[in-house]
Amino acid sequence: MRRIAIASTAFALASACATAPVVQPDAATEAVADPEAWRDAPPAPGALADLVTPTFERFVLPNGLTVIVSERHELPLVSINVAFRAGSASDPDGKEGLAQLTYQLLLEGAGKRDALALDDAFADLGSSAFASVNPDGALVGTQVLASNAEAATALLADVVQRPSLDAKSFQRRKEQQLANLAAQVGNPRYLAGEAFAAAVFGRHHPYGRLGTGTPVSVGKLTQADARRFYANASGPKGAAILFAGDITVDQARELATSWFGKWKGSATAAAAPKAPQVTARQQVVFVPKKGLGQTMIMVGRPGLASGDPDEFALDLASTVFGGFFGSRLNMNLREDKGYTYGARAYVEPRRGVGPLVASSAVRADVTGPSLVEVFKELADIKTRPITAKELEAAREGTIRSIPGSFESVGGLASAAASLYWKDLPLDHYARMIEAYENATAADVQRAAEAYFDPTQMQIVLVGDPDVIGAQVPQLGLGSLQEGVLAPAAAKPAPKARAK
């Protein structure tokens, strides 16, 4: 109709001008004139960005402190961090959550400043400090304008070398951690993560517990535990200071020497946890959550350590299996069967052997059928080898996602911390891209077949026990074994006091 209207209007104008030549619109002219014609064709993809990996420089001060620097001068920002080689895997058995509580406690006062004065001091620099913990290490740091780099380094030196670790602050942080855990113990993902770590590594393995601890383990922690942990974890030979952003190597060396050159401490770099045994599955672990409308499924086994020759081939294999929207697992469970909003799989290399994981939250009424499909996909790795098209999609997506990790100076510092925690070479990220590019179909298929053996995959379910009991035993995957938090663990913690 719109084209007819245009043609009619043009014809009427031509008739009104008797001496003017009449030009009848043809189809090609209409298409050009149609202002909405651009909607008929999808936009062409933009040019791919160049793959540029960051450059890191490393040196060691006379006291043994490692310094890693990555320069980026586009913005006047600097990320300054101290990385420790003792993470949640260093929690003593029975004291899970100690590393997290201790590193958070560092922010509760240092030198001559209490918690509020320390907060104010960072705020005066236009920043705030943070502390984070993972199984292999911890990071304490801040991000400031380059003009405030020295003042921020001085504050971090106080935080790391002269923390208060006083009784009042310890109790407050402990109550906060307990309050967070009281909320988490109702979360199916938290429950699944806790049961999965124990099922794959064993509850007494350093990777067999969650870094948050449990309400029971955190409830038993004392100020003396925190002081002892930090005395063992801190010191120049067990830490690195990381500078990323608008700072030169010479400036970083001067700051590190001035504020950390006299740091003393007995810490040494924590050793990698022993590799766990890979065993055949004997049971299906479940955590009961009566009335839950979904069942949280986690399937996996010990994967590999960072630096393992199979690391990148297995990463590509797990990406094909469940690492992106078009992966086999997601297309089956979500797109074909409609059992879930999404399914994923990944491998997490650590300093020791990290886990290989596949997971999904599925409708409770299809818990059994979902497990059947997960194990069908695992078995199909051998009978339906990874195709060239699948491999290229995984390779392209994986490689193109890497530069995003370095977009901010904070991302650069995190990348530097990973190099330190895992003893990786400074050109690791360039090597990583090269390894992805050079991985052959045979490499990836071999890794997939070696690590995706269905018989070695442990299973954890969190859901309605009646549903699980009715749908799972007959699948022949193993006897049902309840893995639960102790009842006292779910008891709400005392309310944390306001800061």
Model confidence pLDDT, tens digit, residues 226-277: 999 999 999 999 999 999 999 999 999 999 999 999 999 888 877 899 999 9
For the chain, the average pLDDT equals 90
Query: What is the helix (H) or strand (E) element at residue 410, kind and residue range?
Result: helix 409-421
Q: What are phi and psi of 362, to 5 degrees?
A: -110, 160
Pairing of strands 239-245, 77-84: antiparallel
Q: What is the pLDDT of residue 45?
A: 67
| Residue 473 clears pLDDT 50, i.e. is over it | yes
In this predicted structure, the answer to whether residue 4 has a pLDDT above a threshold of 80 is no
CA angle 437, 275, 307 (to 5 degrees): 25
Angstrom distance (rounded) from CA 131 to CA 135: 14
CA-wise closest residue to 132 among 240, 237, 211, 228: 211
Q: Is 24 buried (19+), middle (13-18) or exposed (0-12) by CB count in 10 A?
A: exposed
Q: What is the pLDDT of residues 83-130, one digit of tens each?
A: 999 999 999 999 999 999 999 999 999 999 999 999 999 999 999 999
Nearest to 246 by CA among 69, 81, 72: 72
Residue 208 has pLDDT above 80, yes or no: yes
Read off the pLDDT band of 205 (50, 70, 90). very high
Per-residue pLDDT tens over the stretch 284-303: 999 999 999 999 999 999 99
Q: Which pLDDT does position 487 carry in this prediction?
A: 36
- Token couple for 4: 């007819």
Cβ(296)–Cβ(371) under 8 Å?
no
* Separation of alpha carbons 399 and 390, rounded Å: 14
Q: What band does 48 get if pLDDT is binned at 50, 70 and 90?
A: low
Nearest to 420 by CA among 65, 88, 181: 65
The residue type of 469 is G
Find out whether 210 and 96 touch, Cβ atoms under 8 Å.
yes
Taking residues 421-438, what's their average pLDDT? 95
Phi then psi for residue 47, to 5 deg, are -70, 140
pTM of the predicted protein model? 0.85
Stretch 214-218: mean pLDDT: 94
| Burial classification of residue 41, based on how many CB atoms lie within 10 Å of its CB (0-12 exposed, 13-18 middle, 19 or more buried) | exposed
pLDDT at 32: 56
Q: Any alpha helices (H) in 72-187, and if so which ranges?
A: 98-105, 115-124, 149-161, 167-184
Q: 23 falls in which pLDDT band (50, 70, 90)? A: very low
Q: What is the pLDDT of residue 495?
A: 42
DSSP letter at 390 equals H
Length of the chain, in residues? 499
At 43 the pLDDT is: 78
Q: For residue 469, what are the CA distances in angstroms to 162, 237, 359, 464?
A: 54, 52, 20, 9
Cα distances (Å, whole numbers) of residue 305 to 59, 120, 326: 25, 41, 27
> In 10 A of CB 237, how many CB atoms?
17
Name the residue among 104, 116, 122 with its Cα closest to residue 175.
104
| Dihedral angle sign, alpha carbons of residues 20, 25, 29, 33 | positive
Is residue 136 within 8 Å of residue 421, measured between CB atoms? yes
Distance (Å, rounded) from C-alpha 396 to C-alpha 401?
Answer: 9
